[in-house]
Amino acid sequence: MSLTIEEVTAAGAAWVWLPDDAEVVEDAGYTILRLPDYYDFDLSVVSFTPTGPLPAAVDAVLARARTLGPPVLDWQVLLGGPPGLGDELAARGGRIKLDLEILAADLSAGAPDLRPPEVAVELRWATDFPTVRDGALVETTGFGGALPPASQLEHAAHRNARAAAEGRGGRLVAYVDGEPVGTGGVALVDGVARLTGGVVAPPWRGRGVYRAVLGARLAHAAAHGARMALVKGNPRTSGPILRRSGFTVFGQEPVYALPLG
């Protein structure tokens, strides 16, 4: 079975990022998140489903965002989003902050057999505080931001332990000689494996660490009934690895940064 653009678009539209440490601002046609200071961005539009004219709907989101304080709003243009949204954001001063592409892999026949890494990688599920902290430290090296407070890391450890025990995914941390060098998350929702936060510490890139974390996540997903793996990747970093690992690019999902001053 091969995946269709309709299937991938629907799965992407159903994937709304709502971290439990964010302030959620919702209206009938949009959802904005205000993130804690330890993230590397402050405000983000995570859903946008206008029912009226697009220009007025965009203006309404920006007006609400201006009341929240931060000077910049991040807005990702989704594959199934309203036509012309990117042009509307650009007309209001938006610039592309990050080029992302949406990729998917068919898991109906099982996980792909990936080439092993060039170094000896140990993989651990982040179900306790030390492992969660190690994964968070690796994330800051690749994505920026700061380490979350200990209470948030403890909460993540409990959440990940429940998810892993129930076959719903979690977060993996990769180690080489005891040093945390990579991490990546997976969440299984309605038969779709949503892959998040895949990153490798800069000194360890190019040695197969990302591939090892990817393969373990795909194997877990396939073993627990996922029919599709979905990821939003950077075409210059993770994208080439994903394509070589059986993923297909279905479209672009750029992130715009809009000034709110």
Same domain, 140 and 163: yes
CA-to-CA distance for 124 and 121, rounded, in angstroms?
A: 10
Q: What is the pLDDT of residues 214-243, one digit of tens each?
A: 999 999 999 999 999 999 999 988 999 999
Residues 115 and 220 in one domain: yes
Q: Do 43 and 70 fall into the same domain?
A: yes
CA distance 142 to 197: 9
* pLDDT > 80? residue 1: no
Judge if 50 and 147 occupy the same domain. no
Domain-located, residue 22: yes
234 located within any domain: no
Looking at the structure, tell me whether residues 58 and 165 fall in a common domain. Answer: no
Question: Does 236 reside within a domain?
Answer: no
Tell whether 29 and 114 lie within a shared domain: no
- Residue 95 shares a structural domain with residue 113: no
Question: Does residue 117 share a domain with residue 55?
Answer: no
Q: Is the pLDDT assigned to residue 122 strictly greater than 60?
A: yes
pLDDT tens digits for range 140-149: 988 888 899 9
Residue 154, domain member (yes or no): yes
Three-state SS for 58?
A: helix
The token pair at 15 is 């994937």
Q: CATH number of the domain at 216, please.
A: 3.40.630.30
* Secondary structure letter of residue 94 according to DSSP: -
Q: Does residue 242 lie within any of the structural domains? A: no
Mean predicted lDDT score pLDDT of the chain = 94
pLDDT number for residue 88: 97
pLDDT tens string 87-112: 999 999 999 999 999 999 999 999 99
Is the pLDDT score of 82 beyond 70?
A: yes
Same domain, 201 and 133: yes
Domain assignment of residue 147, given as a range: 109-226
- Does 178 reside within a domain? yes
Long-range contact list for 199-203, CB < 8 A, 24+ apart? Answer: 199/138, 199/139, 199/141, 199/142, 199/143, 200/138, 200/142, 200/174, 201/138, 201/141, 201/142, 202/141, 202/142
Could you tell me if 37 and 127 lie in one domain? no
pLDDT at residue 223, rounded to an integer:
95
Q: Do both 143 and 44 map to the same domain?
A: no
Q: Is the pLDDT of residue 18 over 90?
A: no
**How many angstroms separate the Cα of 217 from the Cα of each of 18, 147, 164, 186, 242?**
21, 24, 11, 6, 13
Confirm whether 241 is domain-assigned.
no
The total domain count for the chain is 2
Q: Mark whether 145 and 213 lie in a shared domain.
A: yes
Taking residue 174's Cβ as centre, other Cβ atoms within 10 Å add up to: 28
